[in-house]
Structure 1
Amino acid sequence: MKTIKIPLTIEKGEREILWGRVEYNQNLLTDFAGNVSELEQKIKNLLWEFEEVHPESVEFEHQFDISALFQRFNFLKISTIAEHAGMNPGLLRQYVSGAKNPSLEQAKKIEITLHRLAAELQKVAIVV
């Protein structure tokens, strides 16, 4: 079975709910859930129901808004990420809370910082 990679946009809703959306064959499919795994399953079910795309053939490429990103990866410290990105921690907290929306430039700065930190972590070796 051939794997189909589909971008899944994940946004934070009210009360820790995550909203997800995919576009497939020019159709927009949306749903909500309490966590990413549940959201993926619900979207896969919609893809099967409306597009006859077999759930096992779908691999999602996650695209998070800032609030959903910090909800999903809640072990990330906002102040530390802001420091590494050269940003004001208070401003990043406002982005995470939804009080303000980042510009495309600010969002890219955060994304690049996260990717750089992840690359550093991939080089780590633990010895015993």
Structure 2
Amino acid sequence: MAKKKKIIMTVEKTNTGFSAFSADYPIFTTGKSIPELINNTYEATELHFEDEKIKVDPTDITFEIDFKQFFKFYKVLNAKFLAEKIGMNATLLSQYVSGTKKPSAKQTEKILSGIHQIGQELSGINLLQTA
């Protein structure tokens, strides 16, 4: 069984949840939540390549979302807070989020690194239950 190269899925927020599509393959799916979208994407991708007997592993699929969509969905992540965390001008990050400016590859990596850092910090926190 052959193995497929990387498949990039573009994620977008919709009125009913999320959609994902590939620019390189006729693969499209939707989901009410991100986890559902990811599961549906795996299923749709396997179905698309089934006749070709090509095995698709979840690691073969990359999900991409633009800044505006990301911050629209993850409203809990404040752009001003993120800018302070990564040492970036808050107005500049706001322009990236609104789509009026496009970040360079270096700036994108800096922002993504900051998002990952915040995610790691949050995953290490346990909340106390009060009686």
- Bin for the TM-score computed over the shorter chain: 0.5 to 0.7
Task: State the partner residue of 1:48.
Answer: 47
Displacement of 1:41 in angstroms is: 2.7
Given the superposition, is the C-alpha separation of residues 103 and 119 from structure 1 closer, same or farther in structure 2, using an over 3 Å criterion?
same
CA distance in 1 between counterparts of 2:78 and 2:38 reads: 24
Uncovered stretches (5+) of structure 2, i.e. residues with no partner: none
Q: 1:7 to 1:70 in 2, by over 3 A?
A: farther
Q: TM-score, normalised by structure 1?
A: 0.64
CA contact (8 A) 2:13 2:73 kept: no
Q: Is the partner of 1:29 in helix, strand or coil? A: coil
| Closer, same or farther: CA 74–116 of 1 in aligned 2, 3 Å | same
Deviations 1:99-126, CA, capped at 9 Å, x for gaps? 1111001000001111111111122122
**Which residue in 1 is equivalent to 2:126?**
125
Within-5 A mapping of 1:47-86: 47-49=46-48, 51-52=49-50, 59=58, 60-86=61-87
Q: 2:26 aligns with which of 26, 29, 51?
A: 29
- The answer to whether the Cα contact below 8 Å between 2:28 and 2:44 also exists between their aligned partners in 1 is no
Q: Does 1:9 align with 2:6?
A: no
Shift of 1:95: 1.1
Q: Scaled by the length of structure 2, what TM-score is found?
A: 0.63
For these two proteins, the number of residue pairs brought into alignment is 118
Secondary structure in 2 matching 1:28? coil
Corresponding residue of 2:100: 99
User: How many Å apart are 1:73 and its aligned residue?
Assistant: 1.6
Contact 1:11 1:64 in 2 (8 A): yes
